Chains A and B, each alone.
Chain A
């Protein structure tokens, strides 16, 4: 309604009142009030739509709530498991080193001693009685060194296996990074929304299709997880493997 329309309405209202035409005057008053009401109505409608849009966006951003309630505690558990695994690997490696070093030192000492005696024997500076003792020592050394080298070989294998932590912890950390990225995207969207620019969400959160390494206390709460190689073997044999 333009100002001109309003002015003519007021003029008509005055005219009607002067003429005592109450019916016309009431009608014009209703019209003027109606305009006000419909403008208010439009405004309320606009606000309602904004609120609705905001609610819709907010429910999309309930992803953040989910991350906060579920994924962050899970991520903490996963990271704790990373600490446990790296600690175990370090302990395992150090234990083996501590076990092996004295064995290697002993072999070295024995070999050095035998080599000295052997040298004396070669240049014929060894009495026969001592030679008998030395040949006994050599026999013992051979027996001893076979055992020692076996210990060392097993130890090296244990060190090798301990390095498996890197793969498992690497996978777990990648997952936590993905979660942090999800959270970051959600926060950015929330900020955009609150600054009333409600940009359409680009969604496209990279969905992790594979569940990845089983973290104790996080992934093994449900029975559908194989927690040991035996579980896997049982399952496969039940499938006819």
Chain B
């Protein structure tokens, strides 16, 4: 299980990476925005995507849309971890096909819960 973490703030990438390691996901990769993440995803081997929304270059929402539009990536589980908390934004992400949505600041327990929920759904 390889997870790609996309966030423009390196501190947040490190936090998520460490939390994921605690949850047993030791195989992670990082990207600092959608533009660098997309080629990484297209080259294959990524099983799960954790992405921020507001990033320079290419936003997390655009990345999500690009993933859903690519036949090879369309079914990739995507968890959005973002400070965007307006109803409008959350609905937008849901409509674009996000699998989970966490608002910052978040807790380790929330991350665990959402990831487990996503896997539960996939297994069913």
Contact = CB atoms under 8 A, between A and B. Distances in A.
A160 interface: yes
A232 B102 contact: yes
B22 interface: yes
B83 A212 contact: yes
B110 A211 contact: no
A160 B15 contact: yes
Interface residues of A, number: 29
Contacts, number: 87
Interface stretch (A71-79, A162-170, A188-196, A197-205): A162-170
A229 B59 CA distance: 21
A241 B22 CA distance: 26
A167 B54 CA distance: 11
B85 A214 contact: yes
B87 A224 contact: yes
B15 A239 contact: no
Contact of A171 (B14, B83, B108): B83
Interface string A16-50: 00000000000000000000000000000000000
B103 A232 contact: yes
Contacts of A226: 85-87, 90, 103
Contact of A235 (B19, B90, B108): B90
Interface in B1-33: 7, 9, 11-12, 14-15, 18-19, 22
List the 10 closest A-B pairs by CB distance, nearest first.
A213-B83, A167-B9, A167-B12, A166-B11, A224-B87, A226-B85, A214-B85, A210-B54, A164-B105, A239-B94
Given A164-B106, A167-B104, A170-B9, 11 more contacts: A160-B15, A161-B15, A164-B11, A166-B12, A210-B53, A210-B54, A210-B59, A225-B85, A225-B87, A226-B87, A232-B90
